[in-house]
Structure 1
Amino acid sequence: MGTVPDDPERGTTPTRPDVDARAHSARHEIEDQLRAQRARLEASNAKLTERTGRNLPAAIGIGVGLGGSVLVSLILVKALFMVVAAVLILFMVIELTNAVRVAGRNVPRVPSVLTALAVVPAAYYWRAEGQWLVLLGGILFISLWRVAEIAVPSRKATGADLVRDLGTGAFVQIYTTFLGSFLVLLTAQDGGQWWALGTLIIVISVDTGAYAAGLNFGKHKMAPRISPKKTWEGFAGSAAAAMIAGVLIALFMIHEAWWLGVLMGAVLTLTATVGDLTESLIKRDLGIKDISTWLPGHGGFLDRLDSTLPSAVVAYALYLIFA
C-alpha cells in the first residue's frame, strides 16, 4: 500500500529541519508584527503626549488609582479616609520640603513629616480645636528643630537665612498639612463624607472641564507668566462642568437644593483655579517644572492635589453654613 503524504503541497512527509524552519519563520513573523504594533502605539502615545503636554494613559491610570482609594475609603468606612489623607498629605509635605531645600531653604524633614502625621488624626478626632493646636505645636517643633541644627558648628547659618528657613517651614505646613486637613475635618462631620466626596468630584470636574475646553478651544491666555497653558476658554469649560456636577451632587448625594449645587460649582471653580495657579507660581519661583516625578503623567502628589487644597477650606465653610 502506498504512504499517504502528510504535506499535500509537497507530497512528502516534512522533515525535522523543514518543521523547525517554518516554526522559526512563524515566530519571526509574529515578533515583527508585535514590534510594528508597539511602534504604532508608541507613535500614537508620543503624538498624544505632545498635544496634551503629558503622558495621558499613565495620567489616567494614576488618577483612577488615587480616585478609587479615596472613593472606597469614603463610602465604606470613612475613618479609612483619614489614613488615605494622611498618606497623601505626607507625600505632599515631603515633595514640597525637598523642593524648597533644592532652592536653598533648609526645612527639616523629620519634624515636618511628624507634624503632618499628627495633624490629620487630630482634625478627625478632635475637630477644629485639635487641628489648630497640633498645627501650631508642630510649627513650633519644626522651628526649634531648625534652631537646634544651627548649633552644630558645621551647620551654622546667618540670622537672615534662619528667619527664611523658619518662615518656609511654617509655609510648608500651612499650605499642605493645614489646607489638606480641612477635607479630613469635613469628613469627620455628620454626613461630611458625602460633602467631601462631592467636593472632590467637583474639583475633578473643574480640572477635566478646563483640560477639555482648553485643549480644543483655548486661545486666550489667562495668566501666561504663571501658567502658560491655562486659558479663559478652559476656565469657562471648568465652570460649566463644575456647576453641572454641583447640581447633581446637591440633588442626589448631599440632598440639598439645586441652587446650592450651582453655588458650590461656581465657588469651587474659583478656589480650584486659584490653587492651581498658586502651585504654578511656587514652581515658577523655585525654577522647577514639577514638584516631583513620583506620579507619571501628573508630576507629583502636590501637582495632582493643588486644586483640592483651598477648595477643602471653602467646602468645609459651605458645610457649616448650609448643612
Structure 2
Amino acid sequence: MGTVPATRTPRAGRDLPVAVGVGLGLGAVLLLALFVRKEAFVVLAAAAVALAVWELAGALATRHVHVPVVPLLAGGVATLVAAYAAGPEALLVAVALTCLGVLAWRLLEAPDVHPPAERQHPEPLLGAGASALRDVTAGVLCAAWLPLLAGFAMLMLAEPDGARRILVFVLLAVCSDIGGYAAGVLWGRHPMAPTVSPKKSWEGLAGSAVACLVAGPLAVGLLLDGAWWAGAVVGLAAVATATLGDLSESVLKRDLGIKDMGSLLPGHGGVLDRLDSLLPTAPVVWLLLTALVPA
C-alpha cells in the first residue's frame, strides 16, 4: 500500500524496474492460465498456495514453530480442487479435514520433532505438550489463512463467467496496491500504522481508494455487466481487505524478525508477499459479487 518516503526511494528498498517486470510476467501467466482453460488456473492457484505454505512454514521455523507441512500441502491442494468442483460446502469440509490432518500428523510424530540445536536452547517453561499445541495452532492458522481464503477464488472461478470474476478480483487488489504506492510516494506524510509498517501512509490509503473507486465500476460494468454502484462497493471493500491483509502480514513478519517471507520473486520477495492482499480480498469480493452481480 502507500508509503511515507523519508527519501524518494523505491518501497522497502526494492528494485522497482525488476519488480515491475516480474509483476507483468506474473500477470501474463495468470491471464494465460485463466482464459485458456479454467483448470489451468486451478493448477496455478494450487501451486501458489503450496509455495506460500512452504514459505510460511520456513518462516515460522525460525522461531521454533514446526507446522506439519505434508498435511498442509496435501490438504491445501485438495481444498482448492474441492471448492472449484463442488462449491462452498466442499470447501469448508476440506479445510476441516486439513486441520484434522494437521492435528493427527503432529500427534503421531516423535515426541520431540525439534532439531538438537533447538533442544539445547529450549524456550523457558515450554514442555513437549505446549510445543505440540503451538505447532498445531500454527498449522490451523496456515490452513485458515492460505487454502481457505484462496478457496473463495475457486468459488468465483466455478461460475459461468468465472474467468472474468477472477479478473475483476485480481484487478482490484492490484489497483489498490498501485494506487497506494503511487500516492504514498508522491504525497505520503502521515504514517497509518507506524509500529507495524512505518512506510504505510494515510495518503497511500486514499490513493488506493481512489484507484479502486475508478477501477471497480469500470471492471464490474465492462466485464460483468454490473451496476456502477455495485462496482464502487466492491472496490471500496477490496481496499479495506487488501490493506488489512498487507498490514497483517507485516505484523507477522515483524514478530518473526524477517523482511520477506521468501525470495522466489525478485523485487517482490516470496509468493506469500504477493498473496497477502489477495487472500483476504477473495472471500469479500466473492460474497459481494454473488449478492450484487449474480452470474
Q: Settle same-fold status: TM greater than 0.5.
A: yes
Q: Which residue of 1 aligns with 2:3?
A: none
Q: Which residue of 2 aligns with 1:313?
A: 283
Matched, 1:137 2:107: no
CA contact (8 A) 1:81 1:184 kept: no
Within a 5 Å distance, the mapping from 1:1-323 to structure 2 comes to: 50-52=9-11, 53-151=13-111, 158-322=128-292, 323=294
Q: Which has the higher contact order (CA 8 A, sep 6+)?
A: 2
Shift in CA distance, 154/296, structure 1 to aligned 2, threshold 3 Å: closer
User: Take 2:114 and 2:88, find their aligned partners in 1: how far apart are those partners?
Assistant: 40
Shift in CA distance, 220/152, structure 1 to aligned 2, threshold 3 Å: closer
User: Take 1:248 and 1:319, find their aligned partners in 2: how far apart are those partners?
Assistant: 14
What is the Cα deviation at residue 75 of structure 1? Answer: 2.1
Match of 1:283, SS state, is helix
What is the Cα deviation at residue 248 of structure 1? Answer: 0.8
CA contact (8 A) 1:49 1:56 kept: no
What is the Cα deviation at residue 150 of structure 1? Answer: 3.1
Shift in CA distance, 91/49, structure 1 to aligned 2, threshold 3 Å: farther
Structure 2 alignment gaps of length 5 or more: 1-6, 120-126
CA contact (8 A) 1:226 1:280 kept: yes
User: Take 1:82 and 1:136, find their aligned partners in 2: how far apart are those partners?
Assistant: 20
What is the Cα deviation at residue 140 of structure 1? Answer: 0.8
**Count of residues in correspondence between the two structures:** 276
What is the Cα deviation at residue 193 of structure 1? Answer: 2.1
Q: Which amino acid aligns with 2:72?
A: S
CA contact (8 A) 1:74 1:80 kept: yes
Structure 1 alignment gaps of length 5 or more: 1-47
What is the Cα deviation at residue 230 of structure 1? Answer: 0.4
User: Take 2:28 and 2:205, find their aligned partners in 1: how far apart are those partners?
Assistant: 26
What is the Cα deviation at residue 76 of structure 1? Answer: 2.5
User: Take 2:46 and 2:284, find their aligned partners in 1: how far apart are those partners?
Assistant: 20
User: Take 1:172 and 1:283, find their aligned partners in 2: how far apart are those partners?
Assistant: 14
Match of 1:285, SS state, is helix
User: Take 1:154 and 1:213, find their aligned partners in 2: how far apart are those partners?
Assistant: 45
Q: Which amino acid aligns with 1:138?
A: T
Q: Which amino acid aligns with 1:264?
A: V
User: Take 2:64 and 2:105, find their aligned partners in 1: how far apart are those partners?
Assistant: 18
With normalisation by structure 1, the TM-score equals 0.82
What is the Cα deviation at residue 51 of structure 1? Answer: 3.9
User: Take 1:249 and 1:221, find their aligned partners in 2: how far apart are those partners?
Assistant: 30
Identical counterparts, % of pairs: 39
What is the Cα deviation at residue 320 of structure 1? Answer: 2.0
With normalisation by structure 2, the TM-score equals 0.89
Q: Which range is displaced more, 90-99 or 68-77?
A: 68-77
Q: Which amino acid aligns with 1:96?
A: L
User: Take 1:57 and 1:90, find their aligned partners in 2: how far apart are those partners?
Assistant: 27
What CA RMSD, in Å, does the superposition of the two structures yield over aligned residues? 1.8
CA contact (8 A) 2:10 2:16 kept: no
